[in-house]
Structure 1
Amino acid sequence: MAEDYSAKNLSVLEGLDAVRKRPGMYIGTTDSQGLMHCLWEIIDNAVDEALAGACSHITVTLHDDGSIEVADNGRGIPVDVEPKTKLTGVEVVLTKLHAGAKFGNDSYNAAGGLHGVGSSVVNALSSRLDVEVDRNGKTYHMAFHQGHPGIYKDADPQRPSPDSPFKRTRKNKPTELEIIGKVSPRTTGTRVRYWADPEIFNDTAEFSYDLLIDRVRQTSFLVPGLKITVIDEHILETGDADVDDLLEIDAESAAEDAENIGNAEAATVDGAAGDGDSSDGADADAEGDFVPSTENAGNVAIADGTANVGSSEHAQPIGEFAASATPASATSLVVTQSGGHTHRRVEEFLHTGGVKDFVDYLSHGEPVCGIWHITGSATYNEETQAVDENGDLHAQKVTRDCGVDIALRWINSYDTTLRSFVNVVETPGGGMHVDGFLQSLTRQIRKAVEDNARKLKVNLKDASTRVERDDILAGLVAVVTVRIAEPQFQGQTKDVLGTAAVRGIVSRMTDKQFGEMIAGSKRGYKEQSARVLEKITSEMHARIQARKTKEVTRRKNALESASMPPKLSDCQPGNDDVAELFIVEGDSALGTAKAARNSSFQALLPIRGKILNVQKASLAQILANKECAAIIQVVGAGSGPNFDIEQARYNKIVMMTDADVDGAHIRTLLLTLFYRYMRPLIEFGHVYAAVPPLHRIALAGKHKGEYIYTYSDDELAGRLDELTRQHIDFNSDVQRYKGLGEMDADQLADTTMDPRTRMLRRIRMEDAAHASDVFELLMGDEVPPRKQFIIENADDFDRSRIDT
């Protein structure tokens, strides 16, 4: 068959056709991840304008027709003709791969989109894309279908649609960039609205509003002073909306615009069509038939005669986002209805504290120290390919600036939250900046521990007592950001930073600044550094202890069982897949439970009253507490970050406490221990609460010898009324259990321990962050918030969910 293979078998994909043929090369996937990646590319371009100091406000609008619009008040995409291609800057940016202002010139010193494929790829993968640019006192417009420029004929210019008739610009013919209106000479910006192409994205691709909000929020942290507004037209909210807050239009600028802006006739950019070719009949028809209407589309309508603010008389094929009266304004439609307001959901983000605010937002738990800040800049040399005046590439050595901005703190937890960014683009895979930070962090902490070994009770002669990186990362919340020109990423999705010189810069800066903080030599850091070092060494001791505990708690033979706490009444070996551990309140209940249990698979561990509140205790205190240490040892899977659920000796952990307030408190303390140090037990549904009855009703007459158990006072009253109505005799002396020890073995087995008749409540956790906040609120050191929570929710809780 080799002779059948010739040049005619080769395919050449031109322009953006290659993107549509292999979209995964550019956006990773064609599912939800790829759908969101397209939006990130457009947003990142707007954010790059903010990084360049040219943009202060970005607005993202989710239109009710499924399209998405990103508007910024940056400099606007260039509209003049690019000499090499003879196309306008707008068309070059949106139709040519690897084209843009981020390839070595001074337009962007730090930018997220650096491969020159962002906007053009989104254009190629959109069924329709419209762009408007405000520059030179004018508003320019261009439309595209699947990456190809042309003109749409919309039945309603205010409701553009990808299904409208489209006339494509002739091949190799310069495209008309329409002038559709006038703006104030000082008004600049870009608005891009696109409809994702259903021919590209699969049926499971879904847009995530939550991911958008998370991305916008983190960007507002990383670019202090940048305001980002998200408007969602899919969900209408009602309430007394403040019109001034929604419009934010400067009155003086609006007056100036009203004076300067008049009705504009549709026109083309000088030279965009090339030597007057558009005057030719056929070509003019191809490029100029469907010129959008120049009717006024810039007014913001407010019903009920409230106001008519910021009139801007120019055509607006993209929708409600007319050129705003000031560069920083963003309009929102407000309509009076039923005496109030119905408006689109609007969320706005603006932060001025930078990465310090970001770390504060990410911190969920009691802080061990304040927020420590590492910042500065340095230079490095790099050989790169530069474009000369003729458009040719050549190698040259350049000096780059690297800005470093890091914030970190430790909280009373063993979870790690480490977020890294390069020019506001997140690098979930880390890279050179993260490597340099962690390398220096580990080095400086080890040095500080050695210098304070006596105070921290660390035996330097014992090789096992060496601080590991996991000990340092436990409870660490950090945001690592660097800003550099032309960073080298691994792949278009920019997951990992590969610019090698950044590692040394971040490492040296962390060595100097963090080294002064952790050594306590910097003013105000002595007490904080002491607490941090104590936490890290406690984590080290806990890791060592957990390793030892794991070695002695696995039940493989009688000798190992003998090492367990003496009060443990273990079950028979060989039933690990169904084994149950009952944590019993008190020795009296233990005696009854021993007679009631099935020893083949049910183990008993008594605890004496209320255990330590681990939310307020240090690791050293927890390990020194006999009750907590015994529970960790008996479960046999370690604790904290070293917990391995596969090593757990029991399939179910059942908290069997009295049905009273003290019993409920003990369960809460046990849950706090499980959540903080054995969380996978809760996450995978292995923790249960026994539900012992409160009352026993002894029936009489022909039902003598039968019993009814009730679990609340309300249930008791209801059952007694029911028995009376049914004329069933019962002993009026209803037994009220004060504790598990008052039951005999048969009663305890029937009601609480026998899997055939008992009732258990599985403890579940659906939102880890919310659960952490609740534990901190209810079990932490801060009393006023807890008191306020109880006062506000006292009348709302479900009494059937607690024991009385």
Structure 2
Amino acid sequence: MPASSKTASVSSADTSSSYSARHLSVLEGLEAVRKRPGMYIGSTDSRGLMHCLWEIIDNAVDEALGGFGTSIDVVLHADDSVEVRDTARGIPVDIEPKTGLSGVEVVFTKLHAGGKFGGGSYAASGGLHGVGASVVNALSERLDVEVDRGGKVHAMSFHRGEPGNFVDKGEKTPDAPFSPFEKGSQLAVIGKAPKGVTGTRVRYWADRQIFTKGAAFQTEELLSRAQQTAFLVPGLSIRIRDERPATLSAAEDGKPVERVFSYEGGISEFVDFLATDKAVTDTWRLQGTGKYTETVPVLNESGHMVSTDVDRECEVDIALRWGDGYETVSRSFVNIIATPKGGSHQAGFDQGLLKFVKQQIDANARRLKVGNDKLEKDDVMAGLTLVLTVRLPEPQFEGQTKEVLGTPAVRGIVANVVAKTLAERFGSSKRDDKVQVEAVLQKIVSEMKARIAARAHKETQRRKNALESSSLPNKLLDCRSNDVAQTELFIVEGDSALGTARAARSSEYQALLPIRGKILNVQKASVSDMLSNLECASIIQVIGAGSGRSFDIDSARYGKVIIMSDADVDGAHIRTLLLTLFFRYMRPMIEAGRVFAAVPPLHRVVVINPGSKPNETIYTYSEQELQGVIAGLKRTNKRYQDPIQRYKGLGEMDADQLATTTMDRKGRLLRRVKLEDAENAGRVFELLMGNDVAPRKEFIIDGAGLARERIDT
């Protein structure tokens, strides 16, 4: 860049002619990372902050994957720093000959430097671009690293990527005075390490000049991924400890959150953990290897990059099981790094599975009564819980965030392993295998027929024109507006509430659908039972977007669906049953934030005003709020009508009261139903509404009050 810059008004021709090489910026070293952090960590919000943390943790996991070290500790300190400790080999501390720097400084200051570029240090690893540790260092206000190796404890500190010394007075802090090395970097020896003890400790403070305000480490995300990693590396123990003040204040006992994850069962145990439905098969393990040749640039002895054909081996390890649900739960990994957007390994699995199952269905078409129906991928994947892992040296990822595997040869290898191992399973002479294979085929054919039936049902239930409107349920009181974004469907409890709601609604954009008592518990029922149930079928028909995998949210007839039930135990049960129906068969409505629960008041307090001034009405929504209102009236010497009216049901309100408190957009209170974590939501629905009675009974006995609170919220 020029030494100084001037602002002038010039023509576009002058600007073009004056653009030369001197206008180009060359960002060297870690300066490029600080200038464009999004290229390396995706974003500078909480996601980017978590990405940095996992770059450090993954380095320790790669060591464990190679058989070095069995424990990793992650501590979120109270001063907003984070520390990762491992018991692996420790970062090399000797001098790297090409740079003349210690191995520690090379790892933390040089982009594309590390032990994962084919030098034999790692057969398979997750961090392979060589930028993880150096990027974290560049984006940290302070980073301290200690290495136990060779009987000594080595230490080095960095300030925004630059090595030097901090002058700490007591506790370590990024605000301590810092002086960079002037003549040469020094890897200090600060103590002795016990004989045979090795490992690395990295503690850093994220640079708040880089990360957005409010960016913070997400404890739940950290716990979830730590548990996931422990599943993928059997024998590895990962301890997470959160000492931050916000966590301490939120904890019931005021103590730090601490969890330890360690599993010996590997991905088979992972599948059992992920699956929430009733098993149709045991957890099957599909394993195999494949070789391929890859042309890669290799650094020769003279320091030049030469394209060379390299023989590779890919290890495939898959655990899967079918359940009686229709949701697909799939997790894919490359060298224990999650690939949420799939890639060549996921494509290979889909290809191999679908091709093999189609062959089996065709070979048994008469016995399975398939007819002329055509199998689709969703039919095979319904109810499948899958963990797919591949291990290979130097995988090709799309971008530093490693969300998609790009190595082309992996697709064919995974497809071949799936076809071969499934053929062995389906051809087994064992009685148990035969029973499970038959159950899988029957389930897949059943899913195919249910899909075809649901699609036909959806086509007949789309919004009708004026001539066809009579096909909608007679009990539906529809609205006049055709603007979906403005329309609302109120599902009300019983005819008494319907009568009041009918007078209270705005017929221009508010529709009413009454239901009779408690609908079918669809968590226990089959698809066919659900469709044949009058109340469930009416709700699906009125919404007009289908159900299950064929649900099309763009065809929904209403912008909002509002569940309006009484504020009592029965009303809460009805609301739970309705939410179960939406969760199981119309989940996109919840995901889009279009399902709400009305919040009717519990009490009506009439404040008596003196003279001719009209009385004032106050509605309260909890016992605590009521007591607060009464206390406030007594402090101001205001009188109120006694006894105070307690609403037991919506039918007790008159139309004006219902409109004012529950239906009028200007004054009503709605609770949006959210689905932030589908897995946890699925477990809660299965606990509260599923077939297994014992866990539900135990849950209710242990915390009856908590159960009511969860239902209400």
Cα deviation digits, residues 342-390 of structure 1 (max 9, x gap): 9754322211111122222323344443322222323222222333344
Which residue of the partner structure matches residue 611 of structure 2? none
Q: 1:792 to 1:183 in 2, by over 3 A?
A: closer
Which residue of the partner structure matches residue 181 of structure 1? 191
Q: What's the offset of the Cα at 1:792?
A: 2.6
Distance 1:476 1:22 in 2: 41
Match 1:100 to one of 101, 114, 120: 114
Q: 1:390 to 1:179 in 2, by over 3 A?
A: farther
Match 2:583 to one of 641, 657, 675: 675
Match 1:764 to one of 668, 673, 678: 673
Q: What's the offset of the Cα at 1:220?
A: 1.1
Q: Secondary structure at the match of 1:525?
A: helix
Whichever residue aligns with residue 632 of structure 1, its letter is I
Whichever residue aligns with residue 167 of structure 2, its letter is K
Which residue of the partner structure matches residue 376 of structure 1? 288
Match 2:241 to one of 220, 231, 247: 231
Question: How many pairs were matched up?
Answer: 669
Matched, 1:165 2:77: no
Cα deviation digits, residues 460-513 of structure 1 (max 9, x gap): x2xxx3222233334433221111111111122212111111111111111122
Q: What's the offset of the Cα at 1:38?
A: 1.9
Match 2:269 to one of 357, 364, 369: 357
Which residue of the partner structure matches residue 11 of structure 2? none
Q: Secondary structure at the match of 1:496?
A: coil
Which residue of the partner structure matches residue 458 of structure 1? 370
Whichever residue aligns with residue 585 of structure 2, its letter is Y
Which residue of the partner structure matches residue 398 of structure 1? 310
Kept after mapping to 2: 8 A contact 1:553/1:561:
no
Which residue of the partner structure matches residue 79 of structure 1? 93
5 Å-filtered alignment, 1:46-61, equals 46-61=60-75
Residues 418-427 or 547-556, more deviating: 547-556
Which residue of the partner structure matches residue 268 of structure 1? none
Match 1:779 to one of 667, 689, 693: 689
Which residue of the partner structure matches residue 30 of structure 2? 16
Whichever residue aligns with residue 314 of structure 2, its letter is C
Q: Secondary structure at the match of 1:418?
A: strand
Q: Secondary structure at the match of 2:395?
A: coil
Which residue of the partner structure matches residue 76 of structure 2? 62
Q: CA RMSD in A?
A: 4.4
Q: Secondary structure at the match of 2:281?
A: coil
- Calculate the TM-score normalised by the size of structure 2: 0.80
Match 1:499 to one of 407, 411, 416: 407
Which residue of the partner structure matches residue 544 of structure 1? 452
Which residue of the partner structure matches residue 232 of structure 2? 222
Q: Secondary structure at the match of 2:243?
A: strand
Which residue of the partner structure matches residue 613 of structure 1? 521
Distance 1:197 1:729 in 2: 60
Distance 2:82 2:705 in 1: 44
Which residue of the partner structure matches residue 560 of structure 1? 468
Residues 620-629 or 54-63, more deviating: 620-629
Q: 1:611 to 1:353 in 2, by over 3 A?
A: same
Match 2:546 to one of 629, 635, 638: 638
Q: What's the offset of the Cα at 1:772?
A: 2.6
Whichever residue aligns with residue 188 of structure 2, its letter is E
Q: What's the offset of the Cα at 1:584?
A: 6.7
Kept after mapping to 2: 8 A contact 1:538/1:620:
no
Q: What's the offset of the Cα at 1:777?
A: 1.7
Match 1:196 to one of 193, 206, 212: 206
Which residue of the partner structure matches residue 334 of structure 2? 422
Whichever residue aligns with residue 388 of structure 1, its letter is N
Q: What's the offset of the Cα at 1:692?
A: 12
Q: Secondary structure at the match of 1:382?
A: strand
Kept after mapping to 2: 8 A contact 1:221/1:353:
yes
Kept after mapping to 1: 8 A contact 2:230/2:237:
yes
Which residue of the partner structure matches residue 207 of structure 1? 217
Kept after mapping to 1: 8 A contact 2:141/2:174:
no
Match 1:446 to one of 347, 353, 358: 358
Which residue of the partner structure matches residue 3 of structure 2? none
Distance 1:207 1:4 in 2: 47
Q: Secondary structure at the match of 1:166?
A: strand
Distance 2:80 2:567 in 1: 54
Kept after mapping to 2: 8 A contact 1:571/1:603:
yes
Kept after mapping to 2: 8 A contact 1:16/1:124:
yes
Which residue of the partner structure matches residue 258 of structure 2? 346
Cα deviation digits, residues 508-560 of structure 1 (max 9, x gap): 11112234446776653344344444444444334333333333223342342
Kept after mapping to 1: 8 A contact 2:700/2:707:
no
Residues 68-77 or 685-694, more deviating: 685-694
Residues 670-679 or 568-577, more deviating: 568-577
Q: What's the offset of the Cα at 1:767?
A: 4.8
Kept after mapping to 1: 8 A contact 2:159/2:178:
no
Q: 1:451 to 1:234 in 2, by over 3 A?
A: same
Distance 2:501 2:180 in 1: 83
Q: What's the offset of the Cα at 1:219?
A: 1.3
5 Å-filtered alignment, 1:632-671, equals 632-651=540-559, 653=561, 667-671=575-579
Distance 2:144 2:602 in 1: 68
Q: 1:185 to 1:690 in 2, by over 3 A?
A: closer
Distance 1:692 1:5 in 2: 69
Q: Secondary structure at the match of 2:290?
A: strand
For structure 1, the residue ranges without an aligned partner over 5 or more in a row are 239-340, 696-707, 719-725
Q: Secondary structure at the match of 2:432?
A: coil
Q: 1:6 to 1:520 in 2, by over 3 A?
A: same
Whichever residue aligns with residue 178 of structure 2, its letter is P
Whichever residue aligns with residue 190 of structure 2, its letter is I
Q: What's the offset of the Cα at 1:583?
A: 5.4
Kept after mapping to 1: 8 A contact 2:500/2:655:
no
Residues 536-545 or 498-507, more deviating: 536-545
Kept after mapping to 2: 8 A contact 1:149/1:169:
no
Cα deviation digits, residues 220-265 of structure 1 (max 9, x gap): 1111111112233324999xxxxxxxxxxxxxxxxxxxxxxxxxxx
Distance 1:542 1:593 in 2: 36
Kept after mapping to 2: 8 A contact 1:235/1:345:
no
Distance 2:658 2:90 in 1: 71
Rg comparison, structure with higher value = 1
Q: What's the offset of the Cα at 1:437?
A: 0.8
Q: 1:612 to 1:37 in 2, by over 3 A?
A: closer
Residues 522-531 or 117-126, more deviating: 522-531
Q: 1:208 to 1:224 in 2, by over 3 A?
A: same
Q: What's the offset of the Cα at 1:596?
A: 9.3
Kept after mapping to 2: 8 A contact 1:126/1:196:
yes
Distance 1:586 1:131 in 2: 67
Matched, 1:118 2:132: yes
Distance 2:60 2:642 in 1: 79
Kept after mapping to 1: 8 A contact 2:88/2:198:
yes
Whichever residue aligns with residue 673 of structure 1, its letter is L
Q: What's the offset of the Cα at 1:602?
A: 6.2
Match 1:790 to one of 681, 689, 700: 700
- Calculate the TM-score normalised by the size of structure 1: 0.72
Kept after mapping to 1: 8 A contact 2:572/2:711:
no
Distance 2:601 2:528 in 1: 34
Q: Secondary structure at the match of 1:443?
A: helix
Kept after mapping to 1: 8 A contact 2:77/2:242:
yes
Q: 1:235 to 1:452 in 2, by over 3 A?
A: farther
Q: 1:521 to 1:641 in 2, by over 3 A?
A: farther
Match 2:44 to one of 30, 35, 46: 30
Q: What's the offset of the Cα at 1:563?
A: 3.2
For structure 2, the residue ranges without an aligned partner over 5 or more in a row are 1-13, 605-616, 628-638
Whichever residue aligns with residue 396 of structure 2, its letter is Q
Which residue of the partner structure matches residue 4 of structure 2? none
Q: 1:447 to 1:587 in 2, by over 3 A?
A: farther
